[in-house]
C-alpha cells in the first residue's frame, strides 16, 4: 500500500521515515474510513455547485434559495436554462483577477514587514511556526497586516482620487471572477498534489493515505513551499481570500450607494463586524501560525480551492444579499446586532489571546488576574523525541475546551442577523460555521487525544464541555 511504502521511504536528508509510523501518529489520519471517504467525494462533487447555487440564487432570483428549486420542480426552469443565464468567463475578469493575485504575490514576497518596527504591540517579520509532526520548525515572513493596509490604502486612493476603476468593480464582475477563482483553486490544488509526489518540500511531513480522493482533498504535503519563503498555506489561507473579504464588502457597499443613493445601517454593520474580524486576523497573523490550519492541516483542495473560492464567495453572502435587499434595521435591532457581534468578538479574541499568552510564556503569566492552572503533558514527534507541553485549564479555557469557537459563532450569528429575518440565504454562514467548528472541534480533539494520550483524558475530565458549558 502507498502509505506503507511511504512510511519506509528514506528522505532527502537520509533519515528513515519509518519512525513516522511508529513514534508519532498525532498528525492527520494515515488511513481513511468509508465515512470520511464518502464525505470527501461528496464535497469534491458538490461544494462547487453549492457556491454556484448561492451566487446564482442572488443573480437570478433576488437571493431566494427556494425559488430556483421550485421552478426546477414546476418545470419552469431547467438546470441548463439556469446555467445558460449565468454570466460566462470574460477576459476582462481574468485580467482583473490576474492583477489581483499577482499584486498579492508581489506584496507577500517582495515587501518584507516593516509594520512591526513602528506599530507598538504588533508582531510581524520573520517568525517561527509550530513544530511539525516530523519535528521541524518552519520560518515565516509575517507581513499580512502591511499587505492589507497597502491594498486598502490603494483601494481608498482609487475610490476618492485616482479613479482608475469603479469601486463596484468586484460586484460588477462577480460571476466571471468566480470562474477565474475556480481555475486558480483547482490549478493550485492539483499542483500541490503533483508536487507532493514529484518534489515535496519536506518528504517526512508528507502523508499518503492510499486513497487518491482523500489525498487530493485533504492534501499530502504539510507545508508545501516554492523556494524558501513562498509558503502555500500562509499565502492562500490569508491572501488573496481574506484580504479580498473586506474589499468585496466595500464593493457591495459602493454598489448599494450606486443603486439606491444611500448605504443601509445593515451594510455598515456587516462591513464593520467583518472588517474587525479580518483586521484581527492580520494583526494576529503570527498567532495564526499556531492554529490548526497551519499546525495540523495538510495543503490540498480543502485549503487551496476553499481559500480561492469558498471563502470569498460564501463568507461574503451577507453583503451580496444586502445589495439585492437593502435592509434598514431599527435602531434597537442594529444596537443588539452590534453588541452580539462585539461580545462574540471579545470572547473569540480573549480566548485565543489567553492560550497564546499562556503558551508563549510557558505558564508564567496572569489569566483573569490569577496564576493560570494547567495540566502538564508530553508527546512524541516522528523523530522519536519526547516533548513537553501544557494544557490551560483556567480563564476561558476552563469554561469550555473551545470557547474561542463559541465566540466566533456569536460573531457569525451577528453578521447574519444584520440582514434581518426575511430570507434564509444570509443565514447560510451561521449554519456552515456551526458545522465547520463542531466538526473541527471533534477532529482536533481526536488528534489531541492521539497526541497526548492519558494526559488529554485528564484535561477533558477537568474541562468536560466543548463549546457551551452544561450543553455540549
- Residues within the interface to ligand NDP (CB under 6 A): 291-292, 348, 352, 355, 389, 391-392, 397, 402, 404-405, 408, 440, 444, 448, 451
Minimum CB distance to ligand NDP smaller for 188 or for 294: 294
User: Residue 10 corresponds to which cell in the numbers above?
Assistant: 528514506
Minimum CB distance to ligand NDP smaller for 177 or for 314: 314
**In angstroms, what is the minimal distance from the CB of 45 to ligand NDP?**
22
Minimum CB distance to ligand NDP smaller for 263 or for 357: 357
**In angstroms, what is the minimal distance from the CB of 273 to ligand NDP?**
12
**In angstroms, what is the minimal distance from the CB of 290 to ligand NDP?**
7
Distances in whole angstroms, Cα of residue 30 to Cα of each of 1, 68, 274, 345: 11, 41, 36, 36
**In angstroms, what is the minimal distance from the CB of 448 to ligand NDP?**
5
Beta-bridge mates of residue 140: 127
Instruction: Map grid coordinates 474510513 to a residue.
Output: 33
**In angstroms, what is the minimal distance from the CB of 389 to ligand NDP?**
5
CA atoms of 450 and 48, how far apart (whole Å): 33
Minimum CB distance to ligand NDP smaller for 154 or for 438: 438
Are 49 and 57 within 8 A, CB to CB? Answer: no
Minimum CB distance to ligand NDP smaller for 168 or for 394: 394
Distances in whole angstroms, Cα of residue 100 to Cα of each of 105, 155, 234, 241: 9, 12, 17, 11
**In angstroms, what is the minimal distance from the CB of 456 to ligand NDP?**
9
**Which among 386, 441, 381, 444 has a CA at the least distance from the CA of 132?**
381
Beta-bridge mates of residue 378: 388
**In angstroms, what is the minimal distance from the CB of 276 to ligand NDP?**
13
**Which among 406, 284, 267, 395 has a CA at the least distance from the CA of 325?**
267
Q: Show the beta-strand stretches assigned E in 195-261.
A: 225-226, 230-231
Minimum CB distance to ligand NDP smaller for 130 or for 226: 130
Minimum CB distance to ligand NDP smaller for 28 or for 402: 402
Minimum CB distance to ligand NDP smaller for 232 or for 277: 277
**Three-class secondary structure of residue 70 per DSSP:** helix
**Three-class secondary structure of residue 13 per DSSP:** coil
Are 414 and 263 within 8 A, CB to CB? Answer: no
Long-range contacts of 95-100 (CB under 8 A, 24+ apart): 96/169, 96/173, 96/177, 96/180, 97/177, 97/180, 97/181, 97/184, 98/180, 100/240, 100/244
CA atoms of 447 and 451, how far apart (whole Å): 6
Are 173 and 92 within 8 A, CB to CB? Answer: yes
**Three-class secondary structure of residue 231 per DSSP:** strand
**In angstroms, what is the minimal distance from the CB of 140 to ligand NDP?**
16
Instruction: Map grid coordinates 528513515 to a residue.
Output: 16
**In angstroms, what is the minimal distance from the CB of 42 to ligand NDP?**
20
Residue 242 CB coordination number (10 Å):
22
Minimum CB distance to ligand NDP smaller for 61 or for 288: 288
**Three-class secondary structure of residue 227 per DSSP:** coil
Sequence-distant (6+) residues with CB within 8 A of 84 are none
**In angstroms, what is the minimal distance from the CB of 444 to ligand NDP?**
5
168 phi and psi angles, rounded to 5 deg: -90, 10
Residue nearest to ligand NDP (CB): 291
* CA dihedral of 293, 296, 299, 304, whole degrees rounded to 10: -20
Sequence-distant (6+) residues with CB within 8 A of 77 are 68, 71
Residues composing the chain: 472
**In angstroms, what is the minimal distance from the CB of 348 to ligand NDP?**
5
**In angstroms, what is the minimal distance from the CB of 262 to ligand NDP?**
30
Instruction: Map grid coordinates 443588539 to a residue.
Output: 336
Minimum CB distance to ligand NDP smaller for 77 or for 244: 244
Minimum CB distance to ligand NDP smaller for 100 or for 403: 403
Minimum CB distance to ligand NDP smaller for 278 or for 329: 278
Amino acid at each position: 500500500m502507498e502509505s506503507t511504502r511511504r512510511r519506509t521511504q528514506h528522505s532527502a536528508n537520509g533519515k528513515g521515515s519509518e519512525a513516522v509510523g511508529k513514534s508519532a501518529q498525532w498528525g492527520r489520519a494515515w488511513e481513511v474510513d468509508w465515512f470520511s471517504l464518502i464525505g470527501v467525494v461528496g464535497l469534491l462533487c458538490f461544494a462547487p455547485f453549492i457556491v454556484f447555487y448561492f451566487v446564482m440564487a442572488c443573480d437570478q432570483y433576488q437571493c431566494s434559495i427556494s425559488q430556483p428549486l421550485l421552478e426546477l420542480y414546476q418545470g419552469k426552469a431547467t438546470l441548463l436554462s439556469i446555467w445558460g443565464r449565468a454570466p460566462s468567463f470574460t477576459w476582462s475578469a481574468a485580467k482583473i483577477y490576474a492583477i489581483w493575485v499577482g499584486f498579492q504575490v508581489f506584496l507577500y514576497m517582495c515587501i518584507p514587514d516593516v509594520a512591526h518596527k513602528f506599530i507598538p504591540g504588533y508582531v510581524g517579520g520573520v517568525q517561527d511556526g509550530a513544530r511539525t509532526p516530523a519535528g521541524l520548525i518552519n520560518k515565516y515572513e509575517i507581513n499580512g497586516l502591511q499587505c492589507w493596509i497597502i491594498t486598502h490604502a490603494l483601494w481608498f486612493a482609487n475610490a476618492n482620487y485616482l479613479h482608475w476603476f469603479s469601486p463596484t468593480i468586484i460586484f460588477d464582475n462577480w460571476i466571471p471572477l468566480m470562474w477565474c477563482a475556480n481555475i486558480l483553486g483547482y490549478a493550485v490544488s492539483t499542483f500541490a498534489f503533483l508536487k507532493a509526489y514529484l518534489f515535496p518540500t519536506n518528504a517526512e511531513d508528507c502523508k499518503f493515505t492510499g486513497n487518491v480522493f482523500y489525498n487530493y482533498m485533504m492534501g499530502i504535503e504539510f507545508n508545501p513551499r516554492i523556494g524558501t519563503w513562498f509558503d502555500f498555506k500562509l499565502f492562500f489561507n490569508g491572501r488573496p481570500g481574506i484580504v479580498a473579504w473586506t474589499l468585496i464588502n466595500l464593493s457591495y457597499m459602493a454598489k448599494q450607494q450606486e443603486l439606491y443613493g444611500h448605504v443601509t445601517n445593515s451594510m455598515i454593520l456587516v462591513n464593520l463586524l467583518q472588517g474587525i474580524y479580518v483586521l484581527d486576523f492580520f494583526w494576529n497573523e503570527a498567532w495564526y501560525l499556531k492554529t490548526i490550519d497551519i499546525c495540523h492541516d495538510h495543503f490540498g483542495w480543502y485549503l487551496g480551492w476553499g481559500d480561492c473560492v469558498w471563502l470569498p464567495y460564501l463568507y461574503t453572502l451577507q453583503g451580496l444579499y444586502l445589495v439585492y435587499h437593502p435592509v434598514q434595521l431599527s435602531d434597537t435591532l442594529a444596537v443588539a446586532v452590534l453588541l452580539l457581534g462585539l461580545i462574540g468578538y471579545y470572547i473569540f479574541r480573549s480566548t485565543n489571546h489567553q492560550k497564546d499568552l499562556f503558551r508563549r510564556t510557558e505558564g508564567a503569566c496572569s489569566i483573569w488576574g490569577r496564576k493560570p492552572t494547567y495540566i502538564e503533558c508530553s508527546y512524541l514527534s516522528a523523530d522519536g523525541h519526547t516533548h513537553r507541553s501544557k494544557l490551560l485549564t483556567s480563564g476561558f479555557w476552563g469554561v469550555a475546551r473551545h470557547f474561542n469557537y463559541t465566540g466566533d459563532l456569536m460573531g457569525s450569528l451577528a453578521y447574519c442577523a444584520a440582514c434581518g429575518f426575511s430570507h434564509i440565504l444570509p443565514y447560510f454562514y451561521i449554519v456552515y460555521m456551526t458545522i465547520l467548528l463542531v466538526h473541527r472541534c471533534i477532529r482536533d480533539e481526536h488528534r489531541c487525544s492521539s497526541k497526548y494520550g492519558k494526559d488529554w483524558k485528564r484535561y477533558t475530565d477537568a474541562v468536560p464541555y466543548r463549546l457551551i458549558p452544561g450543553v455540549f
